[in-house]
Amino acid sequence: MRPKLLLTLLAFFFLNPHSQSQPQPLVPPVTQGFTCNPNRTRTRCQAYALYRASPPNFLDLASIADLFSVSRLMISKPTNISDPSAPLLPNQLLFVPITCSCNAINSTLAISSANLDYTIKSGDTFWFVSTDHFQNLTTYQSVEIVNPTLVPTKLEVGDSVIFPIFCRCPDQTQKSNQVNFMVSYVFQPSDTLSRLASTFGVSAKSISDVNGNSIKPLDTIFIPVNRLPVLPDSSNSSRNSSSPPPPPPLPPPSFVDKERKGLIRGLAIGVGVCGGFLVLLIGFGVYREVALRKRGGDEEEEKQKREFFVGKGLKEMEASLMADVSECLDKYRVFKIDELRDATDGFSDDCLIEGSVYKGEIDGVQYAIKKMKWNAREELKILQKVNHGNLVQLEGFCIDPQEANCYLVYEHIQNGSLHSWLHTDDKRRRELSWKSRVRIAIDVANGLQYIHEHTRPRVVHKDIKSSNILLDANMRAKIANFGLAKSGCNAITMHIVGTQGYIAPEYLVDGVVSTKMDVFAFGVVLLELVSGREAVDEEGNVLWGEAGGIAMEGGGKSPSPEGRKLEKVRSWVDEALMEESYSIESVVNVVTVAAACVQRDPVKRPSMVDVVYALCRSDELFFDVSEEGLNNPNVTAR
Ligand SMILES: *[C@@H]1O[C@H](CO)[C@@H](O)[C@H](O)[C@H]1NC(C)=O
Ligand SMILES: *[C@@H]1O[C@H](CO)[C@@H](O)[C@H](O)[C@H]1NC(C)=O
Ligand SMILES: *[C@@H]1O[C@H](CO)[C@@H](O)[C@H](O)[C@H]1NC(C)=O
Ligand SMILES: *[C@@H]1O[C@H](CO)[C@@H](O)[C@H](O)[C@H]1NC(C)=O
Ligand SMILES: *[C@@H]1O[C@H](CO)[C@@H](O)[C@H](O)[C@H]1NC(C)=O
Ligand SMILES: *[C@@H]1O[C@H](CO)[C@@H](O)[C@H](O)[C@H]1NC(C)=O
């Protein structure tokens, strides 16, 4: 596995074409029509946004998936692209899944949107990101409304901003007319209503019923569909995209009754599968309960318990089924146990990645397959809620009732764990430049910020360590293994889990579970990135024990405290980094962040929001200093 790592990485850093000043047109706020009833903020549905691949930054699925915090597969599947890693054509149309909900702004105003997190980069404005990156699927005025604490003229790099992608959920009437999804679509100057209708296989009237009759170019409109249309396949024929504009819309049939029935049947099967999954889980709950009871021997009680479980389970199932069905149908693939067996040579050791995680290829796509027992449920519950480019994405699952095993199937992350890069092989460690280390730190921090700040209830990972951080083909980091994660915060537990060297003192002593324990473990990962050393050395000394001393001035020969601090940091930096240029200011900044994270008192530790902000500063610092470091002869592709 010799990736095109560093070049891609460098490209990422330097192809940032945003110019500083963008015109700010004075248009009245465009939130009319995207508002929803604030009394109904619990409405939630699966929706899609139609996105056009566009050069230079959004011409591959990975960067578009990152922008929308989904996996590549979640776009390639509804769009019917067979190879998710192939480059896209300019203007190629894509269906990007979004979760639409009604989000209250205040007591009278709520906006129907999918709220996406975006981290401000140099040159970004609300206007620029809305019109360019998000292609007018939102407006800067709405961005201002949903981010009331941010001052649009005072954005700083690293600020986390919510971009509300406009969307709509079908109402009862629409649902009864077989509308399953609303596709958010930006009306193009060249579009006509009738052509659009035929592209999506719906009537022009159904579009104007939803959007009114005064649709203007660049308005976001909602197209009610029964199912997603097949977009023209441009992977093959029109490689010659020199002059021809977007691929022509396909002419799909409008709804025929027969087709509709097929669809309903398909939906029913889907519901059945999801439901079946729940039944199985619940069924096994009963089974286990019964097995435990057997020992007690009270048969009557056992029977009652069983009935109770089944009754309760069914009710719960029905409720959660109604809520989850659309997401479940679209988001996950249900694998057959035989598929998994074939893919992994019957779970042979050759396919073992580590622990109980196997690598396997199904239909030409690589997956990481984790074999579990009943503990899968908690992880599944959490993974269903989270959705972020810096978290390893769950792609599907499988139940094997015969062996009472449950399998979670994730995207396979090509370059393995950060631990393996830092601690198993000197050559690999040398390949990990300072720049990519900072990038990895920021990626992980973003993923953690997401689970800490943007999930309800909050999720605590509880097992952040370098071996749970995976690196993809572009050396971007993703957090893996939510096996120990907990939703809900500030709980006390008696059952201490985690990994020596990363465990926060308050958790070890009192069992306090909070987001601050992830902050602590993240601080340890930062120290590993800087020093290239393991979290615990051979003698059992923890790395974080040294952090305080490093970050503080004192000792050394230099006359000034600052100078002494620099001296100390220099002597501590991974010697694999010496060969290339890095800015010592950037390193000092990261060490300072790390030291703050590993403070004993959890209250004094920063939040991940602060950490992301501070790390992005390191990124900038590096940027300023060592342009020439880029011509490092070690940096080669393939
Ligand atoms: C929301 O509910 C409140 C009282 O429960 C009611 O006064 C208000 O009119 C409702 N708003 C809408 C838009 O229905
Ligand atoms: C997806 O595209 C392939 C060709 O790439 C085509 O054979 C297949 O019918 C398409 N699937 C659907 C659902 O249209
Ligand atoms: C709600 O927010 C909107 C947009 O910020 C504002 O125009 C409106 O006055 C607010 N309403 C209340 C009751 O605060
Ligand atoms: C979005 O709208 C602006 C005008 O408001 C336009 O300049 C820009 O090209 C549009 N972006 C896209 C991707 O269509
Ligand atoms: C794709 O290319 C192959 C040969 O390269 C050709 O046989 C096939 O017809 C093409 N498909 C489309 C949809 O153009
Ligand atoms: C690309 O376009 C040129 C000229 O328009 C044509 O000669 C060539 O065959 C095209 N190539 C493909 C792969 O379609």
Q: Is the CB of 80 under 6 A from ligand 5?
A: no
Residue type at 591? V
Cis peptide bond N-terminal to 97, omega within 30: no
Distance CA 427, CA 196 (A): 55
Residues forming a β-bridge with 410: 368, 394
Give, for ligand 2, the residue of 95, 233, 238, 363 to mutate: max count of ligand atoms closer than 8 Å to Cβ.
Answer: 233
Please check whether residues 515 and 397 belong to one and the same domain: no
Tell me, what's the pLDDT at 99?
Answer: 86
pLDDT for 547-575, tens place per residue?
A: 877 766 555 566 677 777 788 888 889 88
Strand partners, 370: 357, 408
491 C-beta closer than 6 A to ligand 3 = no
pLDDT score at 482: 82
Q: Is residue 274 part of a domain?
A: no
Task: Say which CATH number the domain at 343 has.
Answer: 3.30.200.20
Task: Kindly state if the Cβ of 82 falls inside 6 Å of ligand 2.
Answer: yes
Q: Output the CA angle 191-94-248, nearest 5 degrees.
A: 40
Phi, psi of 352 (to 5 degrees): -70, 130
Q: 244: cis peptide before it, omega within 30°?
A: no
309, β-bridge pairs = none
Task: Answer whether 379's CB lies under 8 Å from 483's CB.
Answer: yes
Task: Tell me which residue has its CA closest to atom 2 in ligand 2.
Answer: 80
Q: Does 186 lie in the same domain as 110?
A: yes
pLDDT at residue 270, as a whole number: 34
In a domain, 389, yes or no: yes
Residue 327 confidence (pLDDT): 44
Domain containing residue 83: 16-230
Which residue's structure tokens are 């067979």? Answer: 82
- Same domain, yes or no: 551 and 626: yes
Express the helix, strand and coil content of the chain in percent, nearest 5 each: 45, 15, 40
Q: Is position 638 within any domain?
A: no
Q: Give the distance (Å) from ligand 2 centre to CA of residue 515.
A: 45
Cβ–ligand 2 distance for 626 under 6 Å, the answer: no
* Domain match, 347 and 456 both: no
Q: What is the pLDDT of residues 606-619, one digit of tens each?
A: 999 999 989 987 77
Would you say the CB of residue 136 lies under 6 angstroms from ligand 4? yes
Closest ligand 4 atom to 186 CA: 14
Residue 516's pLDDT is what?
94
State residue 563's pLDDT score.
77
| 8 CA to centre of ligand 6 in angstroms | 29
The pTM assigned to this predicted structure is 0.47
Q: What are phi and psi of 190, to 5 degrees?
A: -85, -5
What are φ and ψ of residue 155, in 5° steps?
-75, 140
Is the domain of 428 the same as that of 386? Answer: no
Domain end point (choices 411, 426, 452): 411
Examine residue 585 and state whether it is found in any structural domain, yes or no.
yes
Determine the pLDDT at residue 153.
87
Rg (CA), the chain: 26
- Measured CA to CA, the distance from residue 167 to residue 222 in angstroms comes to 7
**CA nearest ligand 1 atom 10, residue:** 39
Tokens of 136: 């007018």
Give the separation between CA 78 and CA 95, rounded to whole angstroms. Answer: 6
CA of 146 to the centre of ligand 3 (A): 11
The answer to the question of residue 560 being in a domain is yes
- Using the mean position of ligand 4's atoms as its centre, give its distance from the Cα of residue 18 in Å: 15
**Residue with the nearest Cα to atom 9 of ligand 1?**
39
**Is any atom of ligand 6 closer than 6 Å to the C-beta of 456?**
no
* Smallest-distance ligand from the CA of 239: 6
Asked, for residue 1, whether it belongs to a domain, the answer is no
pLDDT of residue 621: 61
For ligand 3, is residue 509 a contact (CB within 6 Å)? no
What distance in angstroms lies between residue 612's CA and the mean position of ligand 1's atoms?
39
Residue 77 Cα to ligand 2 middle (Å): 10
Packing angle, helices 584-597 and 434-453, rounded to 10: 30
Among 202, 230, 258, where does a domain finish?
A: 230
**Nearest bound ligand to the CA of residue 41:** 1
Residue 431 and residue 562 in one domain: yes
- Residue 233 beta carbon below 6 angstroms from any ligand 2 atom: yes
Q: Which residues contact 146 (CB under 8 A, 6 or more apart)?
A: 103, 105, 111, 113, 115, 162, 164
Which backbone phi and psi does 353 adopt, to 5 degrees?
-90, -60
pLDDT at 605: 95
Give the contacts of 556 (CB within 8 A, at least 6 positions apart). Answer: 563, 564, 567, 568
Q: Does 239 sit in the ligand 6 pocket, CB within 6 Å?
A: yes
Question: Which ligand gives the minimal distance to the CA of 110?
Answer: 3
Kindly give the distance from the C-alpha atom of residue 22 to the centroid of ligand 4, in angstroms, as a whole number.
Answer: 12
Residues 465 and 370 in one domain: no
| Contact in structure between 583 and 622 (CB atoms under 8 Å) | yes
Query: Does 378 share its domain with 340?
Result: yes
Q: What are the phi and psi torsion angles at 134 (to 5°)?
A: -95, 5
Q: Which candidate in 124, 330, 463, 574 is catalytic?
A: 463
What is the pLDDT, as a whole number, of residue 61? 87
* pLDDT given for residue 517 in this prediction: 94
Give the end of a domain, one of 172, 207, 230.
Answer: 230
Which token pair is 337?
């146990």
Q: Which of 35, 39, 41, 42 to mutate to test the pocket of ligand 1 (most atoms within 8 A of CB)?
A: 39
| Same-domain check for residues 31 and 136 | yes
Question: What is the predicted pLDDT for the residue at 24?
Answer: 36
Within 8 A by CB and 6+ apart from 86, the residues are: 235
- Specify the ligand 4 atom closest to the Cα of 131: 1
Backbone dihedral angles phi then psi of residue 465, each to the nearest 5 degrees? -165, 165
Ligand nearest to the CA of 241: 6
Residues of the chain with pLDDT under 50: 1-32, 234-329, 489, 624-638
Annotated catalytic residue 463: yes
| Contact by Cβ (8 Å): 46, 99 | yes
> Which residue's structure tokens are 């020596």?
500
pLDDT of residue 224: 93
In a domain? residue 368: yes
Tell me the CATH number at 519.
Answer: 1.10.510.10
Question: Do 369 and 482 reside in the same domain of the chain?
Answer: no
Same domain, 515 and 616: yes
Q: Write the residue with the smallest CA distance to atom 10 of ligand 6.
A: 240
State how many domains the chain has: 3
Residues 98 and 154 in one domain: yes
32 lines ligand 5 (CB under 6 A): no
